[in-house]
Structure 1
Amino acid sequence: MSALLRVQDLRVRFRTMGPLKALATGTKAPFIDAVCGVSFQIRKGETLALVGESGSGKSTIARTIIGLQPALSGSIRFGAQELIGLTATERMPYLRRMAMMFQDPVGSLSPRLTVQSLLAEPFRIHGVSNRDGGAEAERLLRMVGLPADVGRRYPHQLSGGQARRVGVARALALNPELIIADEPTAGLDVSVQGEVLNLLARLQDELGIAILIITHNLNVVRHMADRMAIMYLGRVVETGSTQHIFDYPRHPYTQALLSANPVPDPDAVLNRIEIKGEVPSMLRRPSGCEFHTRCQYAQEICRGVFPEPSASGDDAEHSFKCHFPLKHESGPRWEKSTALTS
């Protein structure tokens, strides 16, 4: 199946100081690279999870895809159309086909508008004048399991779960093919988290929507995602099917993340892997493999040579960037990797 969204070698850079200050202080590179050569694709109707610690570049990727943040280089193709380089006007037809749920469910809703006005807003922005705003708002509220009278409320009158459902409803307004959900369960009670995830799963089954879910909650990933991509310091270090990565992680960072995942069983035997040291600053990236400063398996080559993408022998879609990937059979815990030739 062809990709609905294809991100290739995406790079995003932020300036850390103005040109005059950089000149006065003698700073030659007054910027940080928040996203460094990230590539992935999403097929129609599937869910891909971007996973990683806070500050790893997940939300920056989402904002770049929908045009809120410019890319330094790379490619973002939606269907057959390249989005990087388009003007805001040229992007509008493609933005109708994708929608974003922002991390803060209440903060992403204008406090001056009622829920009904918020749900009608996408139709006004995209010039859809043949729809009745009130009727569309009621339809969307029913779709996400909220009563019609919620439409008369303002965002501050909503609970966290209700605000999140309104965000889902607004994302669905123009019948998108792709929803980007940035931490869709953040700040919600566990029971409400389950309701929101089940709602997204149901709507995906009914409407065939593809979902890019951004989270550090691995229980959400296991419940929702077909495939996952692990990010560290602005790079994807491992990607593949969710089940295969959970069962057979190859990158030491992935293994440590999975070992830290909470288990709802008080009698479970936990084998936590503690990552030593602090996350390096993006202003002073380590040479070679950027995880080598915290990796218990690091060798001399890791300190000087960045690893090429390698493939897992038993899953063609499972790839990783590690000189000494973990093994899951008898023998040494790691093996020398073989770089992909393609």
Structure 2
Amino acid sequence: MSALLRVENLRVRFRTMGPLKALATGTKAPFFDAVCGVTFEIDKGETLALVGESGSGKSTIARTIIGLQRAVSGSINFDGQEIEDITGADRKPYLRRMAMTFQDPVGSLSPRLTVRSLLMEPFRIHQLKDRDAGAEAARLLRLVGLPDDFARRYPHQLSGGQARRVGIARALALNPDLIIADEPTAGLDVSVQGEVLNLLARLQDKLGMAILIITHNLNVVRHMTDRMAIMYLGRFIEVGSTERIFEHPCHPYTEALLAANPEPDPDAVLNRIELKGEVPSLMRRPSGCEFHTRCRYAQDICSRVFPEPSINSDDTKHSFRCHLPLGRREADPPLEQRLHLQLHQLPR
């Protein structure tokens, strides 16, 4: 089965100062890379999670896919069509098949518009004038479990969970093949989080859409995703099936993230892993493996050589970037011996 969305070597860069200031100060590279060479794909009907600390580049990837941010380089292929180089009105047919729900459910809704007007925005943008506004608004509200009379309300009259449902309804207006959900449970009570997640799962089963979830919540990831990608400083450091990564993580950063996941059982024995030090600045990336400054397993080679992607021998769809993957330290030859022939040719 061909992938619905395929992203290859995506790089997104932001300026740190204007051209004149850079010229005056002699700054040769007045920018930083928020996303560095990211590659992944999502199949039809599949759910993929992007996981990582704040500032790791998760939302930047989502905004680039949906067209709110331009990439410096790389490829975004949607259902067999390269769309990264398509701009303006020519991109609309592809954007109709994608939709995004934003992290702030209330802030993403215009306070001057009623729910009905908000739900009809996609139809107006794509010039679909043959729709009955009242009927479409009622259909979308029922789809997300809200009464028809919510169409007359304004965003300030909605709770966080209700605003989230309206955002999901608006995203579903044009029957997209891909939904990008940026922190779909952020700021919601635990009971409301469950309702929103169950709603997304039911809609996926009913409509067959693919979902890209951006979240810090590992319980959400384990509950409803097929695969997950762990991000650190704008790179994927581990990608694989959700079940495989939860049971057998290969990267030390993944191990630390999973160990920090809240445990509801008060009698459970916790094995927390403390990451020392601060997250490095994107403008001053560490040499070698960028996680080595916080890694408890780091050796000298980790600070000198950037790790290339490796494939798990037990699962070819499970990849990672680490010189010292978990579970291999005893069986593998000495690290210097394994890397001796690669030191001069590993790509950055």
TM-score by length of 1: 0.96
2:241 equivalent in structure 1: 241
Alignment pair present for 1:58 and 2:96:
no
Uncovered stretches (5+) of structure 2, i.e. residues with no partner: 343-348
Deviation at 1:224, TM superposition (A): 1.2
2 CA distance for matches of 1:158 and 1:333? 57
What are the superposed Cα offsets for residues 177-225 of structure 1, whole Å, 9 maximum, x if unpaired?
0000000000000000000000000000011010000011101100111
Deviation at 1:332, TM superposition (A): 6.7
1:180 equivalent in structure 2: 180
1 CA distance for matches of 2:113 and 2:188? 23
Letter in 2 for 1:37: G
SS at match of 1:3: coil
What are the superposed Cα offsets for residues 38-84 of structure 1, whole Å, 9 maximum, x if unpaired?
01100000100000000000000000001100000000000111111
2 CA distance for matches of 1:200 and 1:88? 30
Deviation at 1:129, TM superposition (A): 1.3
2 CA distance for matches of 1:89 and 1:248? 46
Alignment pair present for 1:45 and 2:45:
yes
Assess, with a 3 A threshold, how the Cα gap between structure 1 residues 174 and 335 changes in structure 2: closer, same or farther. Answer: farther
1:202 equivalent in structure 2: 202
Contact kept in structure 2, 1:13 and 1:32, CA below 8 Å? yes
2 CA distance for matches of 1:333 and 1:295? 19
2:170 equivalent in structure 1: 170
1:112 equivalent in structure 2: 112
Alignment pair present for 1:227 and 2:227:
yes
Matches within 5 A, 1:74-113: 74-113=74-113
Deviation at 1:87, TM superposition (A): 1.0
1:303 equivalent in structure 2: 303
2:346 equivalent in structure 1: none
1 CA distance for matches of 2:10 and 2:148? 42
1 CA distance for matches of 2:229 and 2:334? 22
Note the aligned Cα RMSD (angstroms).
1.7
What are the superposed Cα offsets for residues 294-320 of structure 1, whole Å, 9 maximum, x if unpaired?
111111221111111111111111000
Alignment pair present for 1:137 and 2:133:
no
SS at match of 1:229: strand
2 CA distance for matches of 1:289 and 1:335? 18
Letter in 1 for 2:69: Q
TM-score by length of 2: 0.95
2 CA distance for matches of 1:169 and 1:50? 22
1:213 equivalent in structure 2: 213
SS at match of 1:8: strand
Contact kept in structure 2, 1:8 and 1:40, CA below 8 Å? yes
Alignment pair present for 1:8 and 2:8:
yes
Contact kept in structure 2, 1:9 and 1:39, CA below 8 Å? yes
Assess, with a 3 A threshold, how the Cα gap between structure 1 residues 103 and 190 changes in structure 2: closer, same or farther. Answer: same
| Bigger Cα displacement from structure 2, 234-243 vs 20-29 | 20-29
2 CA distance for matches of 1:164 and 1:42? 24
2:250 equivalent in structure 1: 250
What are the superposed Cα offsets for residues 99-146 of structure 1, whole Å, 9 maximum, x if unpaired?
000110000001110000110111111011111011000000000000
Contact kept in structure 2, 1:101 and 1:171, CA below 8 Å? yes
What are the superposed Cα offsets for residues 215-257 of structure 1, whole Å, 9 maximum, x if unpaired?
1110110011100000000000000000000000000000000
Contact kept in structure 2, 1:327 and 1:333, CA below 8 Å? no
Poorly superposed stretches of 4+, deviation over 6 Å: 332-335
Contact kept in structure 2, 1:327 and 1:335, CA below 8 Å? no
Aligned residues: 339
Amino-acid identity (%): 78
Uncovered stretches (5+) of structure 1, i.e. residues with no partner: none
